[in-house]
Structures are given as structure tokens and as C-alpha cells.
């Protein structure tokens, strides 16, 4: 029945989008007062500098994020007002998409922040539960400009607190320089501690009871942060915040979901069966997410180059774990073997560049698995070429230093491939595996470092060769093989 209407609706929608492009300013500052009531927020907002706000008739919200669709459906009870505070008529074009009859200057609306059913959404979109919640201005405030800054204040339920790393301009208002990068944690009964790591400050918030003690978590986080700061030769943020919380509903043992946005790391996790496993899991989560404070959050690179920052986050985290004696070398090889099995079994293998474009439409596993394998291959090819010098940190440092937040914005894929291409030995990897879709054939490279690859029942297994020559021993030591031996001797 609704079919004949569809083209008209579609045309209106496209037109609204065109309008939006013309009327949206490059930058805009708004004020927002956010009141929390049960699982809803009531938001009142206005433009702070109304002279910038001419011809703004589009009132719209983020529709989807990280594979979570239909976010606009949470918005209701919208009112728009002109400069005299008079209500303005508007049309609803779609969920989260409104078109006003005249310019508006102020607004109010309700957002239903009931906990999403999909557990994988919980670190990526705003929600409110009984005792805690996460508020992301990026999906909660209207999209009014390419970049929106905001003064935000919260009206909280009794005994609740709010944590955010944004500066406060007064006792009430947080100054948010970019709403897309901000996160606020709200709730009660959590522990908070600010730790100094060199001249940087890490604010750690832990909610819920854990097998791992708060002190162990604080120490782990600061140790990993310091490790990466040294590796990259600098950092992008004066202050970062890490939130560690339990899921607001029952989930399987070991399930976790995390996101790093701006300088905010959010980790929702369940426990493992034993404390040692829980501690190891926390190490893994922090190694991966803290890496993201540098890539992609600490660089000014644009576009979908997820294969790089996810693949290298996994690999750097794995290598860091060996270096810090948190896992055995055998575990390191097992993980790489599993990634190889996943990549080999893909029925439709696409290049990493294409997989990154399609990350939320089914190519996510490949971005991670193949991305990590490419990072490993780059590491061992550089090791061979540099005769055992640990060259991977060097290349990561080069990319970070060249493309820090203060540098000019560039396309991520070309910036990274440029750095890789300056090393001739990486040419084949770029052609076959990053731009190309070839099966990862790594036996020759593995031979040089003394590792062999076998396939058993479609699963790839890596192991250290039983007879090693001097060169192989040296290269393996650089990869952390010796660490494992030291580790196992000391734990006997």
C-alpha cells in the first residue's frame, strides 16, 4: 500500500540531505541540558551563537553507528523554536530526521535510551540502565554542522555522578570541543582514580565487583600506556579516561565489547572462570584499546583504513603481550595460526582496502584476521631485512609522527601505503595482500625465521622448527621466543 508513496518520500529525503549540506556550517556551538529520567533523557538545546545559525531547517540525528541501525527511532517529542521562543512547525521525514518550516534556534526532545538488545551495541551507542549508563553526545545531540562543539550540563538522578574528561567551564557545564569524540559515564557505586603516567593523566573508572583488584587494573593500564608512549615517541592526549564496567544484562563468560573514542576507552566485560584468566583478558583488552589512543585516534587520517589500525592493534598487542611476559610464545603462534585459518576459509576473499569499506556489512572478521596477518608478515620481512633489528616500532612511530593530530588531514590508506612503499621489501605484501586478494602464502618468510606452518583439518598450526640455525635463533629471539623460555623457567 505504501509503495506509490515511496519515490516521493525518497525524493523529499534526498532533497533534505542536499539542503542540509548547503545550510550546515562547518562548525557550530550549541548548549545542551540533558536530564536523565529512568531510561530516557530529555534534552533542551540551543545555538550559542545564533548568527551562525541562519537557514538551519534540518534537525537530524545519527542513524547508524558501528553496525547498529535505526538509532533515530529513539528520538521523539521533538519541539523546535524560533528566536522568540515560538514553536515552529516541522515534518518528520524519517526516524531521527525532521524538516522545519522556518529557521530554528532552540529545540527540545526525548531520547529513549533503553538498553539495546544487541550486546555488541553496548560499547558503541548511548544507553541507560538501573545504576549506570553511557552517554555519547555523537548519537544524542542533533547533527547541525560538520563539527559541533557544545556546552553540556546534566541533571542526574539522586546519588548519581557523571565522569568526563572534558574541561568544565563552570560547576555545571562541560566544554566539549567535538561532540563526536566525547563520552560521559553516568551512574553510581563506581570507583574512580586519576593516575599520572609521566606528564599524562589517566582517569580510571571501575564499576562492579571483579576478581582482578582495582590496584592491579590501575597498574596494568598505566604500564601499557607508558609502554606505547615510549614506542610511538609521544602521545596525542593530555588526559585519557578508561571505563571498565559489567554489562547491564547477563552475558556469556568471557564476552566483552569495547570502544576507544577520542581519549575515552570504554570496556564492558564479563568475568572469566579464574582470576588469572580475568587478569589476562584485562591485559588483552587494555593492550588493544590503549593502542587505539594512537591509531586511529591520535592521528589526523581520514577514510576507511580499519585494516591497518585494527590489524596492527591486534598484532602490536600480541607482540606486547609476549614482550611483557603476559603470554607464551606458543600462544602468540596459536593466535596467528587461527587468523590464518579464518582468512584461508573465507569463501569470498576481498582486499583489505575493500574489506575496510565494508567492515559493518560482513567483512569485519577479515579486517581483523587478515589485517593482523599482514602486520605479522611486515614485521618478519622487516626483521629479515634489517638483520634482526626490531623495525616494526620504527615504522609505526614514523606513521604516528608524520600524521599526528596537528598534521594536515590526509587519506589514511594512501598515507600508510606511502610509508610502506618507501621500504622496497614490503612491495609484495602490499600488492598481494593489502591491495590484492591472494591467499596468505607465508612458508618462505616463515622458514627464514625458523617457524613452520602445517594444516590439519582446515586449521593452520604454527610451530618452531626443531632444528634451528644461528640466524633463525637470533630472529626468533627478536620476536620474543626467548621471553617465553625465560618465562616458563621462572614459573617452574
Nearer to Zn ion, 36 or 122 (CB): 122
C-alpha cell at 41: 533523557
Q: How far is the CB of 412 from Zn ion (least distance, A)?
A: 15
Nearer to Zn ion, 301 or 313 (CB): 313
Beta bridge partners of residue 163, listed in sequence order:
185
Q: How far is the CB of 294 from Zn ion (least distance, A)?
A: 12
Q: How far is the CB of 305 from Zn ion (least distance, A)?
A: 13
Judging by beta carbons within 10 Å of its beta carbon (0-12, 13-18, 19+), is residue 299 exposed, middle or buried? buried
Nearer to Zn ion, 62 or 313 (CB): 313
Nearer to Zn ion, 56 or 363 (CB): 363
| DSSP character string of 256-310 | EEEEEETTEEEEEE---SSHHHHHHHHHHHHHHHHHHTTTTTTB-EES--HHHHH
**Selected range binding Zn ion among 80-88, 151-159, 304-312, 458-466, rule: CB under 5 A:** 304-312
The three-state secondary structure class of 363 is coil
Cα(392)–Cα(318) distance, integer angstroms = 13
Nearer to Zn ion, 359 or 403 (CB): 359
Nearer to Zn ion, 143 or 310 (CB): 310
Nearer to Zn ion, 267 or 440 (CB): 267
- DSSP structural state of residue 92: E
**Selected range binding Zn ion among 303-311, 350-358, 432-440, 465-473, rule: CB under 5 A:** 303-311
Window 243 to 272, contacts with Zn ion (CB under 5 A): none
Q: How far is the CB of 311 from Zn ion (least distance, A)?
A: 9
Q: How far is the CB of 360 from Zn ion (least distance, A)?
A: 13
Window 305 to 334, contacts with Zn ion (CB under 5 A): 310, 313
Q: How far is the CB of 288 from Zn ion (least distance, A)?
A: 6
Q: How far is the CB of 290 from Zn ion (least distance, A)?
A: 11
Residue 136: which of 234, 233, 243, 51 has the closest Cα? 243
The three-state secondary structure class of 118 is coil
C-alpha cell at 275: 582470576
CA distances from 27 to 24, 56, 110, 148, 337 (A): 8, 13, 24, 6, 47
Residue 112: which of 66, 157, 78 has the closest Cα? 78
Q: Using CB under 5 A, count the residues that bind Zn ion.
A: 2
Q: How far is the CB of 309 from Zn ion (least distance, A)?
A: 7
Nearer to Zn ion, 229 or 310 (CB): 310
Complete edge-to-edge strand list for the sheet that includes strand 239-246:
190-197, 200-207, 239-246, 264-269, 256-261
- Contact footprint for Zn ion (CB under 5 A): 310, 313
Amino acid at each position: 500500500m505504501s509503495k506509490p508513496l515511496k519515490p516521493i518520500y525518497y525524493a523529499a529525503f534526498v532533497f533534505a540531505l542536499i539542503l542540509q549540506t548547503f545550510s550546515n556550517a562547518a562548525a557550530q556551538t550549541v548548549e545542551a541540558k540533558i536530564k536523565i529520567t529512568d531510561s530516557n533523557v530529555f534534552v533542551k538545546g540551543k545555538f550559542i551563537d545564533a548568527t551562525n545559525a541562519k537557514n538551519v531547517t534540518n534537525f537530524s540525528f545519527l542513524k547508524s553507528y558501528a553496525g547498529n541501525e535505526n538509532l533515530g527511532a529513539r528520538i521523539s517529542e521533538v519541539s523546535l523554536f524560533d528566536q522568540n521562543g515560538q514553536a515552529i512547525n516541522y515534518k518528520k521525514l524519517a526516524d531521527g530526521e525532521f524538516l522545519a518550516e522556518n529557521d530554528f534556534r532552540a529545540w527540545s526532545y526525548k531520547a529513549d535510551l533503553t538498553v539495546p538488545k544487541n550486546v555488541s551495541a553496548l560499547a558503541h551507542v548511548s544507553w541507560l540502565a538501573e545504576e549506570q549508563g553511557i552517554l555519547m553526545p555523537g548519537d544524542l545531540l542533533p547533527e547541525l554542522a560538520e563539527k559541533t562543539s557544545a556546552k553540556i550540563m546534566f541533571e542526574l538522578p539522586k546519588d548519581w555522578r557523571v565522569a568526563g574528561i572534558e574541561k568544565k567551564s563552570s560547576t555545571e557545564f562541560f566544554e566539549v570541543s567535538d561532540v563526536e569524540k566525547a563520552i560521559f559515564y553516568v551512574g553510581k557505586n563506581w570507583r574512580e582514580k586519576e593516575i599520572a603516567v609521566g606528564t599524562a593523566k589517566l582517569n580510571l573508572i571501575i564499576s562492579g565487583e571483579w576478581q582482578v583488584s582495582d590496584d592491579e587494573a590501575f597498574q596494568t593500564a598505566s604500564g601499557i600506556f607508558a609502554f606505547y608512549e615510549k614506542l610511538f615517541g609521544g602521545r596525542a592526549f593530555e588526559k585519557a579516561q578508561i571505563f571498565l564496567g559489567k554489562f547491564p544484562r547477563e552475558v556469556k563468560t568471557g564476552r566483552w565489547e569495547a570502544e576507544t573514542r577520542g581519549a575515552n576507552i570504554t570496556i564492558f566485560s564479563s568475568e572469566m572462570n579464574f582470576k588469572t584468566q580475568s587478569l589476562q583478558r584485562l591485559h588483552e583488552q587494555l593492550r588493544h584499546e590503549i593502542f587505539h589512543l594512537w591509531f586511529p585516534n591520535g592521528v589526523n587520517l581520514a577514510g576507511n583504513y580499519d585494516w591497518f589500525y585494527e590489524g596492527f592493534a591486534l598484532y602490536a598487542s600480541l607482540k606486547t603481550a609476549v614482550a611483557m611476559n603476559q603470554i607464551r610464545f606458543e600462544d602468540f603462534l596459536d593466535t596467528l595460526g587461527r587468523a590464518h585459518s579464518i582468512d584461508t576459509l573465507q569463501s569470498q576473499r576481498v582486499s583489505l582496502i575493500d574489506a575496510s569499506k565494508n567492515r559493518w556489512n560482513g567483512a569485519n572478521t577479515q579486517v581483523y584476521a587478515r589485517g593482523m596477518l599482514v602486520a605479522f608478515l611486515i614485521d618478519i620481512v622487516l626483521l629479515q631485512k634489517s638483520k634482526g633489528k626490531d623495525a616494526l616500532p620504527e615504522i609505526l612511530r614514523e606513521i604516528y609522527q608524520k600524521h599526528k593530530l596537528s598534521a594536515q588531514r590526509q587519506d589514511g590508506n594512501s598515507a600508510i601505503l606511502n610509508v610502506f612503499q618507501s621500504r622496497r621489501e614490503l612491495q609484495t605484501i602490499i600488492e598481494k595482500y593489502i591491495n590484492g586478494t591472494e591467499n596468505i602464502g607465508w612458508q618462505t618468510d616463515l622458514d627464514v625465521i625458523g617457524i613452520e606452518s602445517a594444516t590439519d583439518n582446515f586449521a593452520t598450526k604454527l610451530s618452531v622448527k626443531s632444528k634451528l640455525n644461528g640466524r633463525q635463533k637470533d630472529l626468533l629471539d627478536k620476536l620474543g621466543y626467548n621471553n617465553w623460555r625465560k618465562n616458563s623457567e621462572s614459573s617452574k
